[in-house]
Structure 1
Amino acid sequence: MTALPPLDHIPADILSAADYEQRAADHIAPPTLAWLAGGSGDEHTLRANRSAFHDLRIVPRLLTDFSKACTRVHLLGTPLGHPILLAPLGHQRLLHADGETACARAAAATGCGFVCSTLSSLSLEDIAAATDEPKWFQLYFQPRRNDTLALLRRAEAAGYRAIVVTLDTPVQPLSRRAQRAGFRFPGDTPANLAAFAPPLQVALEPGQSIVLHGMMSEAPHWDDLAWLIEQSRLPIVAKGVSHPDDARRLRDLGVAGQIVSNHGGRALDGSPSTLSRLPVLRAALGQAYPLLVDGGVRSGTDIFKALAWGADAVLVGRLQGYALALVGALGVAHMLKLLRDELELCMAQAGTPTLADITADCLVGDVTC
């Protein structure tokens, strides 16, 4: 089946941010759709990320004064009109010819944040130049420290405001859905890594595991993160946190903020939903420490629940890809506007004029997995 080209207008049947998921399917090649929509293993965690939001209910409140209502938030020196960021999503030219520059422009137009991926189709410099609004750069540790340092220095020089270092995928599990669909990444090296020499092949001894002794030999350790913090002139945000002991150790090491994440269900299959980990991590880190979350967000109501459960902001991944494939930058901006509108409608009915008013007392129910 050949994917339809992107549209140049917003379809009349897009009434919510979540509508982009179904509407965009015809505009994405089936193997690419399997990659974008799928998760690792049997996709238990992928489903848990979504179902967790359904287990919480919001209690309406009456007669609240909204004369001083506000949705603005400052995260590590980055001002946002709403507590929404576009998550780092690589290879965006698989979805639209404009790639990451379209999403950067959409975020800038709607007062939302944008996080550029190490695996972006376009260079981090080209993406940074697309708008004057603040952006963050997501960093994967490279096998050689010099290459990691080169990415860090380029991000600093290009004007990024923070470094989001992804830690939850020391090995990347395969997506069975994408494999069955025949998905393959493009043969070209991602733009940000094109200047680096291929990593040396790991030599295994007889009986050693290709995963445990091969792939994991290149995985970062705590001393690598400490080195990165020492080298960086920008705040470091750790992405992929689930355990409170890790969260406390990251904070004590000097990490400036953390993102509760399971890679959108693409990391360890069977791990708990990100929403379920928010309260325990917030308790471990304290109320003032910057804590964000991604995974399963499809609506402004989901955003409200994440904020009430302990997040300062959310990151949106798959919805970004669907909107990009359907209508390019216009679609992503429209999707973000819908999320903003849905969040504000929820705040209005829940009696929460400001983000500080959105607390666990607004919710009933519980999330255990």
Structure 2
Amino acid sequence: MTGHSDRAVDLADLERLAAALLPAEVRDFIAGGSGTERTLAANRTALDATYVVPRMLAGVEAAATRTSLVDTVAALPLAVAPMAYQRLVHPDGELAAARAAAAAGVPFTVSTLSSRTVEDIAGTDAALWFQLYWLRDRGVVTELVARAEAAGCSALVVTVDVPVMGRRLRDVRNGFALPSSVQAAHLAPGPSGAHDRRAGGSAVADHTGTAFDPTLGWHDLEWLRARTRLPLVVKGVLDPRDAVRCVDLGAAAVVVSNHGGRQLDGALPTALALPRVVEAVGATAEVLVDGGIRSGVDVLRVLALGASGALIGRPILWGLAVDGEHGVARVLRLLGVELEQALLLAGCVDVAAARDLTTHLDSCLP
């Protein structure tokens, strides 16, 4: 099978193809960050300023990319990040993306705001993690955890950096709202504020403001840890002190994340936050990272900075928009090819060896 995505030789090609296909307001919803988008840009700047020092004479003929992430076997040190409303870009939405993740052998994270249910996505046979937003209705939180467990999810990823949604000016200018055909499949059916378009505002932000509980605190994390048998992954950590406390409360892993630049504008880029978090908790918990990952070289960079693996976000939506399942498969294939070559060129026989590489931060970083 071939498709438009086969013309892409890197993820930037897929971004351009997707941009030409998507309605402008959907493109902005995916691409945009909060405020002036300083942190959105800084995620890329910090990665580009991170240089890896390769090792020579390693005698390496082939590099192994297989690893384990939160007790989940993964063909690459990657997981698909939780992303809402994937039917915005393709009718099959999360089902297509999860099928591609299953074929590539990487975990797929189901969002609380998924446009397909976790039960439906479980039918793809992908290795699933479930991402949990903290909702005002504690009964719904309890129900979602039980559904994730029953559907066979192998980890629970609780996002802690969205007490309120960041002010995303592209969405505000567009008066962005979901089309009636796209619903938050895990929340109550029927009309939702996310569909109520109004000038000078984001209906999606209005909806999350109603549904999400901004008072999420450490006691809630402790409560959650006591009520699930799944490994707990805390996503949205930048300060090593927070990472330590998460692990002390029983987290198996943390994700160094600024929500792809979509929350606090001016927050530290993840490549700069990562080494200090690894230093603080890397001996006792896994440390994953997201934010601006766009190539196999980027994956090598974060491995060298100490991460166990990376979450890949927006590029999955580009592939999905261009070619559905086949497009997402193309994204993951390109990342795998690029990572294998990057490992070989860096003198690494496997993913673990990449964590022993030395990095250098460009002093020109603003």
Deviation track 1:264-290 (CA, whole Å, cap 9, x = no partner) reads 000100001011101100111033521
The Cα of 1:12 is off from its aligned counterpart by 5.2
Partners of 2:296 and 2:342 within 8 A in 1: yes
1:28 to 18, 22, 25: 22
Task: Work out the CA distance in 2 between the residues paired with 1:68 and 1:33.
Answer: 38
* 2:355 is the alignment partner of 1:353: no
Letter in 2 for 1:256: A
* 2:153 is the alignment partner of 1:157: no
Question: Do the aligned partners of residues 344 and 80 (structure 1) sit closer, same or farther apart at CA in structure 2, a change above 3 Å counting?
Answer: same
Partner of 2:169: 176
1:59 to 53, 67, 71: 53
Letter in 2 for 1:167: V
Partner of 2:283: 287
Percent identity, aligned pairs only, is: 43
Classify the secondary structure of the residue corresponding to 2:135.
Answer: coil
Partners of 1:257 and 1:289 within 8 A in 2: yes
Task: Work out the CA distance in 2 between the residues paired with 1:216 and 1:28.
Answer: 28
Partner of 2:274: 278
1:337 to 318, 330, 333: 333
Deviation track 1:311-346 (CA, whole Å, cap 9, x = no partner) reads 101001100111100010000001101001101111
1:137 to 130, 140, 144: 130
Task: Work out the CA distance in 2 between the residues paired with 1:185 and 1:196.
Answer: 13
Partner of 1:147: 140
- Tell me the TM-score normalised to structure 2 length: 0.90
- Tell me the TM-score normalised to structure 1 length: 0.89
The Cα of 1:143 is off from its aligned counterpart by 0.5
Question: Do the aligned partners of residues 214 and 77 (structure 1) sit closer, same or farther apart at CA in structure 2, a change above 3 Å counting?
Answer: closer
Partner of 1:117: 111
The Cα of 1:261 is off from its aligned counterpart by 0.5
The Cα of 1:34 is off from its aligned counterpart by 0.4
Task: Work out the CA distance in 1 between the residues paired with 2:234 and 2:38.
Answer: 24
Task: Work out the CA distance in 2 between the residues paired with 1:338 and 1:276.
Answer: 25
- Answer with 311-320 or 285-294: which moved more: 285-294
Letter in 2 for 1:166: T
Partner of 2:200: none
Output aligned runs, 1:88-237, within 5 Å. 88-131=82-125, 133-186=126-179, 189-194=183-188, 218-237=214-233
Task: Work out the CA distance in 2 between the residues paired with 1:248 and 1:48.
Answer: 25
Partners of 1:8 and 1:327 within 8 A in 2: no
Question: Do the aligned partners of residues 155 and 323 (structure 1) sit closer, same or farther apart at CA in structure 2, a change above 3 Å counting?
Answer: same
Classify the secondary structure of the residue corresponding to 1:341.
Answer: helix
Partners of 1:18 and 1:299 within 8 A in 2: no
Task: Work out the CA distance in 2 between the residues paired with 1:130 and 1:194.
Answer: 24
Question: Do the aligned partners of residues 80 and 216 (structure 1) sit closer, same or farther apart at CA in structure 2, a change above 3 Å counting?
Answer: closer
Classify the secondary structure of the residue corresponding to 2:4.
Answer: coil
The Cα of 1:366 is off from its aligned counterpart by 4.9
Partner of 2:197: none
Task: Work out the CA distance in 2 between the residues paired with 1:180 and 1:97.
Answer: 26
Task: Work out the CA distance in 1 between the residues paired with 2:223 and 2:145.
Answer: 12
Partners of 1:61 and 1:350 within 8 A in 2: yes
The Cα of 1:217 is off from its aligned counterpart by 6.5
Partners of 2:129 and 2:155 within 8 A in 1: yes
* 2:261 is the alignment partner of 1:268: no
Task: Work out the CA distance in 2 between the residues paired with 1:47 and 1:331.
Answer: 25
The Cα of 1:256 is off from its aligned counterpart by 1.1
Partner of 1:362: 358
Task: Work out the CA distance in 1 between the residues paired with 2:311 and 2:164.
Answer: 22
Task: Work out the CA distance in 1 between the residues paired with 2:326 and 2:225.
Answer: 37
Task: Work out the CA distance in 1 between the residues paired with 2:192 and 2:320.
Answer: 31
2:12 to 10, 18, 42: 18
Partners of 2:129 and 2:157 within 8 A in 1: yes
Task: Work out the CA distance in 2 between the residues paired with 1:239 and 1:176.
Answer: 24
Partner of 1:202: none
CA RMSD of aligned residues (A): 2.4
Partner of 2:305: 309
Partners of 2:161 and 2:258 within 8 A in 1: yes
Task: Work out the CA distance in 1 between the residues paired with 2:117 and 2:359.
Answer: 42
- Answer with 59-68 or 239-248: which moved more: 59-68
Partners of 2:67 and 2:77 within 8 A in 1: yes
The Cα of 1:198 is off from its aligned counterpart by 9.0
Task: Work out the CA distance in 2 between the residues paired with 1:240 and 1:261.
Answer: 5
Task: Work out the CA distance in 2 between the residues paired with 1:248 and 1:116.
Answer: 26
Task: Work out the CA distance in 1 between the residues paired with 2:350 and 2:158.
Answer: 30
Q: How many residues align?
A: 350
The Cα of 1:60 is off from its aligned counterpart by 3.3
Task: Work out the CA distance in 1 between the residues paired with 2:308 and 2:10.
Answer: 23
* 2:241 is the alignment partner of 1:245: yes
Partner of 1:47: 41
Classify the secondary structure of the residue corresponding to 1:220.
Answer: coil
Question: Do the aligned partners of residues 220 and 186 (structure 1) sit closer, same or farther apart at CA in structure 2, a change above 3 Å counting?
Answer: farther
Classify the secondary structure of the residue corresponding to 1:183.
Answer: coil
Deviation track 1:97-138 (CA, whole Å, cap 9, x = no partner) reads 00001010011111112101010111111011122x321000
Deviation track 1:222-281 (CA, whole Å, cap 9, x = no partner) reads 111111110001111000001111110110011111100011000100001011101100
